[in-house]
Amino acid sequence: DRNFIRHHITPVLTQRWPHIHQAVARSATLCAQQQVLLEELLQEAMQEAKMPDGSLSITALSHRSELARYQLLRMWLAQLGEPMPTQEHLAMIWQQVASARIDANPRLKLGQSELRRFDQKLYCIQTYQDISDWQAMIVPDQSLTLPDGLGNLTLSSHGASKGIALPDDCHQLSVTFNPEGLAACPVGRVGSRKLKKLFQEYGVPSWLRRRTPILMHRNQVVAIANLFVDRDFSGQDCELIWDK
């Protein structure tokens, strides 16, 4: 298309309007200046909408006009290094993700990333491989490398805030990422609950619930990394350290 315009369209336009190149350059400069000014005027709105974790507040966006809202979405995605969305994509982000029904778990593919919603905030996340079937044994005081760039997990007896009691047959300890059908009772609570409910209570976004290490002893949940220890395994033998 560019070659066609350069070789067939531009010569005709230049012949008819000799100064068209200068006019186009002036228009491009003016558009660029207006874009800079627009972003300056929306900086305060962006600071209000952008959360400390890098997400974007849907509530803050809903208080803006559609034009301002779409521009804030463009600015946010640009800051994250994402490709510039089309007008159609912007409408889909707002209508299909931000405005989806409250009990939905919406997602929208955008380039190599996904737009997701959690706790009335928009998140732009990279697409992950499914590691639900991954499982490995873990040995106390030996670092375990986790899949898909999730770092290392160590059951350390030298930790500063120990909270786990090791079972006698600690060679039966393993790590999984699949919470399906599992339940636990965090220390300080009464009665066990499904991990799905516990993840919700602890504010873990849906896309991270199968990317959070679960320490198991046989078929029992011992602990969830960075969240809690099950009351049946509460003690002072070691600490579960997740080095992301």
Q: Are residues 6 and 67 in the same domain?
A: no
Q: Are residues 167 and 113 in the same domain?
A: no
Q: Are residues 192 and 150 in the same domain?
A: yes
Q: What is the pLDDT of residues 94-132, one digit of tens each?
A: 999 999 998 899 999 998 899 999 999 999 999 889 999
Alpha-carbon distance of 111 to 109, in angstroms, equals 6
Of 127, 156, 176, the position where a domain reaches its end is 127
Q: Are residues 122 and 144 in the same domain?
A: no
Q: Are residues 218 and 143 in the same domain?
A: yes
Alpha-carbon distance of 163 to 215, in angstroms, equals 13
pLDDT of residue 30 exceeding 80: no
Q: What is the pLDDT of residues 69-82, one digit of tens each?
A: 999 999 999 999 99
Contact by Cβ (8 Å): 49, 61: yes
> What is the full DSSP assignment across 18-78?
TTHHHHHHHHHHHHHHHHHHHHHHTHHHHHHHB-TTS-EEHHHHHTS-HHHHHHHHHHHHH
Q: Are residues 23 and 53 in the same domain?
A: no
Q: Are residues 89 and 159 in the same domain?
A: no
Q: Are residues 231 and 172 in the same domain?
A: yes
Quick one: pLDDT at residue 32? 67
pTM summary value: 0.78
Q: What is the pLDDT of residues 199-219, one digit of tens each?
A: 999 999 999 999 999 999 999
Q: Where are the beta strands (DSSP E) in 163-238?
A: 173-176, 183-184, 193-194, 214-217, 220-224, 228-229
Q: Are residues 142 and 224 in the same domain?
A: yes
Q: What are phi and psi of 67, to 5 degrees?
A: -65, -45
Domain membership of residue 214 as a residue range: 135-243
Q: Are residues 123 and 169 in the same domain?
A: no
Domain total of the chain: 3
